[in-house]
């Protein structure tokens, strides 16, 4: 009612009191008149404005969309979400970095592990260490050639008792607070810059 511009003031009025209280007598008389009238004279229009209706509709549609996304999806981070849309820590002032982070989250990039799915002539091995399949998890967490550059990320995760796994590293764990998410993303971007790692381009073998 407040959102529709209705001002409400509540008063406590003692009931079951002996007759003679002027306010009670008037209230009882008016109530009796309205209840016995086939068409009440005092009505309040409480219809939502167009903007309010639009806001409610969008809220409903977002909730339905998230519900549909979660159906049949086994990704834990998706089921932990309470709303749709991009998290603030998924964005960056650099469009290039935003795209790189997105490709790492989706797994659709030019790392060998993904490219080999479409080209049997492509080796699945990491182009840096040649020890394991070059996946997002390997490139960010396990590649032995990138261990020194990864040290600050691991130190931060250990200090805050956060497991070193992709869900936490790529900002897909909504249980972590916003400040923590932003700091992990900052450290990840520094790691990508130091290693000149870009999963959107075919990596050159060092």
Question: What's the rounded Cα separation, in Å, for the pair 132 and 2?
Answer: 61
- What pLDDT, on the 0 to 100 scale, is given for residue 76? 55
Q: Which of 183, 203, 40 is nearest to 109 (CA)?
A: 203
For 174, list phi and psi in degrees, rounded to 5.
-70, -5
- What pLDDT, on the 0 to 100 scale, is given for residue 81? 57
pLDDT one digit per residue (tens) for the chain, 206 residues: 666 667 778 777 666 556 666 677 787 787 777 777 776 666 666 677 888 888 888 888 877 776 776 676 665 555 455 656 666 767 778 888 888 888 888 888 888 888 888 888 889 998 888 999 999 999 999 999 989 999 999 999 999 999 999 989 988 888 888 899 999 999 999 998 888 877 666 554 44
Q: How many CA atoms lie within 13 A of 86 on its CB side?
A: 10
Residue extents of the structural domains in the chain? 2-13+20-34, 50-79, 88-195
**Burial degree of 9 (CB within 10 A; 0-12, 13-18, 19+):** exposed
Tokens encoding 34: 């309205």
Residue 153 in 3-state DSSP?
helix
Residues near 22 by beta carbon (within 8 Å), at least 6 away in sequence? none
- What pLDDT, on the 0 to 100 scale, is given for residue 85? 62
Q: Which of 102, 76, 117 is nearest to 170 (CA)?
A: 102
Residue pair 145/127 in contact (Cβ under 8 Å)? The answer is no
Residue pair 165/141 in contact (Cβ under 8 Å)? The answer is yes
- What pLDDT, on the 0 to 100 scale, is given for residue 137? 92
The DSSP result for 84-144, as a single string, is -S--GGG--SSHHHHHHHHHHHH--SSSHHHHTTT-TTS--B-TTT-SSB--HHIIIII-G
The Cα-based distances of 10 to 3, 7, 13, 163 in angstroms read 17, 10, 10, 53
- What pLDDT, on the 0 to 100 scale, is given for residue 84? 60
- What pLDDT, on the 0 to 100 scale, is given for residue 175? 85
């Amino acid at each position: 009612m407040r959102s529709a511009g209705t001002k409400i003031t509540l008063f406590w009025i003692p009931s079951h009191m002996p007759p003679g209280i002027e306010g009670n007598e008037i209230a009882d008389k008016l109530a009796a008149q309205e209840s016995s009238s086939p068409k009440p004279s005092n009505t309040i229009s409480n219809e939502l404005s167009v903007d309010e209706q639009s806001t409610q509709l969008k809220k409903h549609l977002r909730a339905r969309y998230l519900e549909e996304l979660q159906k049949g999806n086994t990704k834990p981070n998706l089921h932990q979400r309470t709303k749709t849309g991009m998290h603030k820590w998924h964005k960056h002032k650099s469009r290039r970095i935003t795209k790189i982070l997105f490709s790492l989250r989706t797994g659709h990039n030019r790392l060998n592990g993904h490219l080999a799915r479409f080209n049997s002539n492509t080796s699945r091995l990491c182009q840096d260490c040649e020890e394991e399949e070059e996946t997002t998890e390997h490139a960010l967490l396990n590649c032995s050639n990138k261990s020194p550059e990864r040290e600050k990320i691991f130190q931060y995760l250990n200090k805050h008792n956060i497991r070193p796994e992709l869900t936490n590293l790529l900002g897909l764990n909504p249980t972590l607070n916003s400040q923590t998410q932003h700091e992990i993303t900052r450290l990840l971007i520094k790691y990508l810059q130091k290693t000149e790692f870009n999963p959107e381009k075919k990596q050159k073998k060092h």
